[in-house]
Structure 1
Amino acid sequence: MGFIHRVSSYLRKDRFQVPPQDERIGKIDEGALSILSAFRREGKEAFVVGGCVRDLLMGRIPNDWDITTSARPEETMAIAGRQGWKAVDGGGRRFGTVIVVVYGQNYEVTTFRREVYGQDSHRPEEISFSDTLKEDVSRRDFTVNAMALDRDGVLYDYFDGLSDLEHKRLRTVGNAADRFQEDALRLFRACRFLGQLDFMADSSLVEGMKSAFPRVSGLSLERVRDEVDKLIVTSHAARGFDLMVRTGLADCSCRAKEKGIFTDIPILPELSHLVGLPQQKEFHKYDGWYHTLAVLEASKPVLVNRWAAFLHDVGKGMPGIRAVRKGKLTDYGHDTKGAEMARGILTRWKRPTPFTDRVVWLVENHMKFHYFANVPEADGLKWIRSMARNKVFSSSRDMAEAFVQMTDLGNADIIGCGKELSDTEGHSAFGRYMEKLALSMPVSTHELHYGKEVPEALGPYVAEGMQNLLLRVQNGNLENTPEVLHEAAIRYKRRRDNEKRNT
């Protein structure tokens, strides 16, 4: 049965007793168990619910614990008070959530509720309390997130979530079109869960998506960006992005508000042309899209690395880039075009400038890195000196970090070609060499190794003199040591004094 053990005691159609040997009940957090026990003593129903139950059943350690209860918010506050626990209103009358602090940990305890959706693309228009667990879990998004577990290890599964876990299948609670129409953000959550859980989307889920696409225009950029960022660093991000792009969800637009005015923000339409884009079989096993997904998953699960991997070949196949030369498919200049497209995407997504600049640099230079790593005659030091002089990076450490990220992208690009002989050691060795060079190359005068005697020696020419010393070190004409810099400063002042006298 894989990672799920078959439940042996069938109590009701939707209620199971977790076998004692499974020991999952022992993995429930101590604070959550204390809350469940306290509510039972007070005659109230209480269950851990949602993602934490899913994670327990998958053998994972939950990041947080959500609790649902028949108790109303004021009753929850009172029960917590009698236990000596701190309780904070987390939405109280409207949302039914109380944050209970037990053993220094926060637990969200929410009253059973029902929701009615209206014009808003994400938030319910009306929330009211309900009296049953089944009605509460009926409002949830996916079957694997709609299971609940009580203090004794009884599993409540009204929508066959356990079966979906066994089959690694993502399915909505009830009709998929209805669930997505209620909350369009669930479209992106579906993509994220595929990447997070390594699941496949049920056909009913896929079929129910498109009817909700018009609702995406009402979602905020911040919410969409948050879901996409969570997806892109998952272990199986390719699954989620494949669903997003192939269904056309990536071609939709959300919105951003600035100075009271909403602006449409296209999500990721630039990726659609990669699907089925042929590549030269001599170098690539996959088409442009599958190559992109393979590179994505081969890269380090860090935002900068993953976004660079995701967009590294976005320029391929574009007009003026795709060509056939001597019977072979080529995409000369796709790195430059891709960098331009990447900047457009990340700018409209309102990414911080340093983040955007770094991803763009990685996309723009990934082919150059391949060339330098493969051609012994290529001068890596010359490349480093040029970037230092042109202040491409704010510091030598920043430049070194960029080459660590570039090495990761280069290696992932090799792996993503799908060829049997995908040796990355040469690229790794070259990347380490470039990192070392970058760390030794000053980008600003602050990184020159000098003492207070150097500015003193330069006298009235300190500003221009320090820049002169920096340039000479970058060009390899001076060593970056206190003694050498001091002597050079003395000579510089002497020369400038002579020039002044002869003017």
Structure 2
Amino acid sequence: MGSLAYRETAAYQGAVRILQTLQAAEYEAYIVGGAVRDIQMGRTPHDYDIVTSAMPEMVIEVLRSSGFTTTNVVGATFGVVVVSYGEHSYEVATYRSEQYGEDSHRPVSVHYPSTFSEDVRRRDFTINGLALTESGHIRDEVGGLQDIEHRRLCTIGSSQERFQEDALRMFRLCRFAGQLGFSIDPNTWAGIEPNLYRVEGLSLERVRIEVEKMLLSDHVDLGLDALVRSHLNDQYCQQTTGGQSRRIPILPELTHLVDLPQAPEHHLHDGWRHTLAVVREVAPNLVLRWAALLHDVGKGVEGVRGFHKGRITDRNHDRVGAHMARDILTRLGYGKEFVNLVVWLVERHMRFHFYVANASADLHTWMQKEAKGGVFRETKELAIAMDYLQQLGVADVIGSGTKEASPSEMYGQRMVSMAQTMPVHTKDLHYDKGLPSMVQPYVKEVMQTVLQRVQNGEILNTPEALQEAGLSKYRRLKEKE
């Protein structure tokens, strides 16, 4: 077992108190699942799940009588009681087995067996089938410890049966590959293809949550590669609104990137390997990871892929990719501002490379155009977007494997610095608070003129310069009266 630092945390000590209380009432109780896996791997868990032989009603009675706070309503489907102790909450579940029907995620019936051995057999992966006693001993009946040691993901029992029961487990498999950096056991992998049809019964919300966790994982390239090579990305899920369900494609636009040839003078990898490398290089931020995943999605599609003098070209892939990114993120349910920012990054990533390669190009003119483009509401938003763009650009260079990244890093820093001083809105101007009253009733006209002059580089964004320019505009307007 790894570090024992977890034992000092209030979350763990609260879990142990619950175990001890249930055991004192002559019930079995263990910490289970991801927390035990993380402890074995030397990580400190943030939350703890507990399983017990006590029926839900007895869990409530025993724990309440010992001073714990519990939910009044027991999770009827799963036999789960939420217990609070201090600042932490714990899900305490009764041993159970499940039967599944047409629903791709929820069981149609739950039964309460009498032993932990029966309970653990219905769980998904061996690494999540470990139990921890209050004394710190790990109980392993499914080979989870060995699989952690060998860094592999295996279902408990038949993968075909586990995925048939709950189709979301196939996405969780990819997500765990990304989070833990584990390989997927061939027998487990083989259970995906026969159960792909089950994905259509999953809700968009649950699928998107799993995809987001993949995108934010430490080994994001492993998770995404499993998602695409398993063809889970090519499936449909369900979105229900107003009582009506509709089929939503997950991420089929990624499939054509696999083995897609690229110009060898610019790229060492095919389209998909390059995309994975870029996603891996950017920080685990949802905007950046989505932008990296979709930055070249327009490559290779009809009307974009071409050849010039025997060389591969993908002209306008940035613009086409931006349209595709908007369609993808909108159907997956992201908000307008999030979508606009990711789309902006996809559409601008080649412009970044152009300016890096052409030192004489007028960066200020570009920054001025972006400030006036209506995408951003204030300087802070423009600066954040430019920072994202330089991170994406540098990752794109590194992911190509053909160029030195230092010039892009240096240029990106210059670009961000310029964005930080480019006003987008009149509220970004550093004017004296008395200026608006001095130019009444022409406040709007004066401030817009002053903003444009600062954006154009004609005057400085200082109180003195703004007041002089503002009063000058005011006098001209008064003369026209």
Structure 1 counterpart of 2:149, from 166, 182, 187: 166
Structure 2 CA distance for aligned equivalents of residues 93 and 184 of structure 1: 22
Residue 495 of structure 1 aligns with which residue? 476
Residue 136 of structure 2 aligns with which residue? 153
Residue 469 of structure 1 aligns with which residue? 450
Structure 1 CA distance for aligned equivalents of residues 7 and 385 of structure 2: 45
2:212 pairs with 1:233: no
2:413 pairs with 1:432: yes
8 Å CA contact retained: 2:352, 2:393: yes
Runs of 4+ in 1 over 6 A off after TM superposition: none
Structure 2 counterpart of 1:82, from 48, 54, 65: 65
Please give the secondary structure, in 2, of the residue aligned with 1:459: coil
Aligned residues: 479
1:388 maps to a residue whose letter is A
Go from structure 1 to structure 2 and tell me whether the alpha carbon gap of 1:241 and 1:400 turns closer, same or farther (over 3 Å shift).
same
Equivalent residue runs for 1:329-368 within 5 Å: 329-368=312-351
1:414 maps to a residue whose letter is V
1:68 maps to a residue whose letter is V
Structure 2 CA distance for aligned equivalents of residues 24 and 456 of structure 1: 61
Which string of whole-angstrom CA distances, capped at 9 and with x for unpartnered residues, describes residues 381-431 of structure 1?
111111112233111110000111111111111111134xx5323222222
8 Å CA contact retained: 1:24, 1:56: no
2:73 pairs with 1:98: no
Residue 141 of structure 1 aligns with which residue? 124
Structure 1 CA distance for aligned equivalents of residues 6 and 274 of structure 2: 43
Q: Give TM-score, length-normalised by structure 1.
A: 0.91
8 Å CA contact retained: 2:221, 2:280: yes
1:33 maps to a residue whose letter is V
Please give the secondary structure, in 1, of the residue aligned with 2:302: coil
Structure 2 CA distance for aligned equivalents of residues 152 and 453 of structure 1: 69
Residue 200 of structure 1 aligns with which residue? 183
Structure 1 counterpart of 2:431, from 440, 450, 459: 450
Structure 2 CA distance for aligned equivalents of residues 26 and 448 of structure 1: 53
8 Å CA contact retained: 1:54, 1:147: yes
Equivalent residue runs for 1:39-54 within 5 Å: 39-54=22-37
Please give the secondary structure, in 1, of the residue aligned with 2:409: helix
Structure 1 CA distance for aligned equivalents of residues 227 and 474 of structure 2: 63
8 Å CA contact retained: 1:90, 1:97: no
2:253 pairs with 1:262: no
Q: Give TM-score, length-normalised by structure 2.
A: 0.95
Residue 14 of structure 1 aligns with which residue? none
Structure 2 counterpart of 1:190, from 169, 173, 181: 173
Structure 2 CA distance for aligned equivalents of residues 25 and 62 of structure 1: 7
User: What is the RMSD of the two structures over their aligned residues, measured on CA atoms?
Assistant: 1.8
Please give the secondary structure, in 1, of the residue aligned with 2:83: strand
Structure 2 CA distance for aligned equivalents of residues 90 and 434 of structure 1: 56
Structure 2 CA distance for aligned equivalents of residues 452 and 37 of structure 1: 64
Please give the secondary structure, in 2, of the residue aligned with 1:238: helix
Which string of whole-angstrom CA distances, capped at 9 and with x for unpartnered residues, describes residues 173-225 of structure 1?
11111111111111111110100110111111221112221221111111111
1:109 maps to a residue whose letter is V
User: How far off its partner does 1:78 sit?
Assistant: 2.1
Structure 1 CA distance for aligned equivalents of residues 235 and 80 of structure 2: 33
1:344 maps to a residue whose letter is D
8 Å CA contact retained: 1:147, 1:161: yes
Structure 2 counterpart of 1:220, from 203, 206, 212: 203
8 Å CA contact retained: 2:6, 2:44: no
2:53 pairs with 1:109: no
2:23 maps to a residue whose letter is R
8 Å CA contact retained: 1:389, 1:443: yes
Residue 20 of structure 2 aligns with which residue? 37
2:449 maps to a residue whose letter is N
8 Å CA contact retained: 1:25, 1:153: no
Structure 1 CA distance for aligned equivalents of residues 375 and 28 of structure 2: 61
User: How far off its partner does 1:169 sit?
Assistant: 1.1
Residue 395 of structure 1 aligns with which residue? 378
Which string of whole-angstrom CA distances, capped at 9 and with x for unpartnered residues, describes residues 290-337 of structure 1?
110111111100100100111111111111211121121121211111
User: How far off its partner does 1:24 sit?
Assistant: 8.8
Which runs of 5 or more residues in structure 1 are unaligned?
Answer: 6-21
